A and B are shown apart, each in its own frame.
Chain A
């Protein structure tokens, strides 16, 4: 199975900050990497698919990059509604596997 290591596990930041979350795969997954945002009691919301493609309706302050084993989710200027948990998911091979998640909190 492909292991996804996500960091940091938690992050404190302020509105307006630029934030970066990373995921590292235990082997190359090309660009088969998605990023999701999840708020308490809600379903995960797809932000980025195929490592860098912005899902329709997602604000442009969210961006993704990377290929192979190293991937990054960047929020260019944090907004109040962005404080949530973030998860990466590799869809290169089954079993699909998630990172451990990053909880983004208000500083």
Chain B
């Protein structure tokens, strides 16, 4: 069974950093891109970015709202993708999800809550 589990969320102050992990199982992780999405409380869904597989150069793309602050990386030996979030803003408060595949974008993990507040 394909599973993705996010971790690393929590309460952080504005301007600080946080790193989220997405641990995958049930498929050959290295063959697939990984997307990150988020959903602010009571709000809609937002795409954050993705990382392609090694076969496609592990290249990344990001939403304008996070470009230059967030970085996606991966460790295929551990089947983990990371979302490094720097310069956190209050508007980054959301549940963060990862998903398998660049265009198929599913399934998703259950998400991890990030709260940015002073």
Query: For chain B, which range describes its interface: under 10, 10 to 19, 20 to 34, or 35 or more residues?
Result: 20 to 34
* Residue B110 is within 8 A (CB to CB) of chain A in the complex: yes
Q: Is the CB of B109 within 8 A of A43?
A: yes
Q: Is the CB of B47 within 8 A of A95?
A: yes
Interface of B is mostly: loop
Chain A residues near B45: list those with CB within 8 A. Answer: 44, 87, 89, 98, 101
Interface residues of B in 47-106 (CB under 8 A from A): 47, 61, 63-64, 97, 99, 102-106
* Residue B46 is within 8 A (CB to CB) of chain A in the complex: yes
* Residue B10 is within 8 A (CB to CB) of chain A in the complex: no
* Residue A67 is within 8 A (CB to CB) of chain B in the complex: no
Q: Is the CB of A91 within 8 A of B103?
A: yes
**With the chains together, A100 CA to B43 CA distance in Å?**
10
* Residue B8 is within 8 A (CB to CB) of chain A in the complex: no
Chain A residues near B103: list those with CB within 8 A. Answer: 32, 34, 49-50, 91
Q: Is the CB of B106 within 8 A of A55?
A: yes
Shortest distance in angstroms between A96's beta carbon and chain B's nearest beta carbon?
4
- Could you list 28 examples of A-B contacts with CB < 8 Å? A34-B104, A34-B105, A42-B110, A43-B97, A43-B109, A43-B110, A43-B111, A44-B97, A44-B108, A45-B107, A45-B108, A46-B99, A46-B104, A46-B106, A46-B108, A55-B106, A87-B45, A89-B45, A89-B47, A89-B105, A91-B102, A91-B104, A95-B47, A98-B44, A98-B45, A98-B46, A100-B44, A101-B44
